[in-house]
Amino acid sequence: MVIIQTKRLVLRDFNEDDWEAVHEYASDPEVVRYMEWGPNTEEETRNFIKRAISHQNEKPRRNFTLAIVLKSEGKLIGGCGIVVSDPENRQGYIGYCLNRNFWGKGYATEVAEALVKFGFERLNLHRIFATCDPKNLASARVLEKVGMKLEGHLREHKFAKGKWRDSLLYAILDYEWKKLVEK
């Protein structure tokens, strides 16, 4: 069972009861605009939760898809994750998605910081990366705020929702992160 505490949030493993709170944001067209998935049907959201739960007992565990819960209200306000995509080279990536009612309060930055810390300290990663649509300015800003560097603009990187989409690639290395947290 994974539980990551931050100042205002708890990142924890999903359970089946989380379905409704996830569907609240996963069915919102504004939230999923730059995602490869969504807006979800109820079945798609239930399948997402099932997939997330199915990773919980993997050994070694490589996929940590976690719920974002607001400590003050106990409300599930989003989902996030870190995935060890290449164990031999100690590479992984992060992602996050928040209910629109909770945007603009620094929560995604808090989530990304915690995932990066978890990736370096607990998963022993060397490089953590993330991609986002170049039009997703808020997400790019979050990645910059956690100290990731822009490594490139990937042309027609993903075919999603009927068209080819570019991605920005951001990453941070373990020693860069150590320098940042030692400051």
Three-class SS state of 2: coil
- The reply to whether 138 sits near ligand COA by the rule CB under 6 A is yes
Spatial CB neighbours of 181, under 8 Å, sequence gap ≥ 6 = 117
- The reply to whether 136 sits near ligand COA by the rule CB under 6 A is yes
User: For residue 70, how many other CB atoms are within 10 A of its CB?
Assistant: 17
- The reply to whether 27 sits near ligand COA by the rule CB under 6 A is no
- Closest approach, Cβ 41 to ligand COA, in A, equals 18
Given the complex with ligand COA, which of 87 and 153 has the nearer CB atom? 153
- The reply to whether 103 sits near ligand COA by the rule CB under 6 A is yes
Q: Which stretch binds ligand COA (CB under 6 A): 2-10, 50-58, 90-98, 169-177?
A: 90-98
Contact 107, 68 (CB under 8 A): yes
What does 36-82 look like in DSSP terms, one character per residue?
Answer: SS-SPPHHHHHHHHHHHHHTTT-SS--EEEEEEEETTTTEEEEEEEE
Given the complex with ligand COA, which of 58 and 155 has the nearer CB atom? 155
- The reply to whether 97 sits near ligand COA by the rule CB under 6 A is yes
Residue 84: which of 64, 55, 54 has the closest Cα?
64
Q: Which residues bind ligand COA (CB under 6 A)?
A: 31, 34-35, 96-98, 103-109, 132, 136-139, 141-142
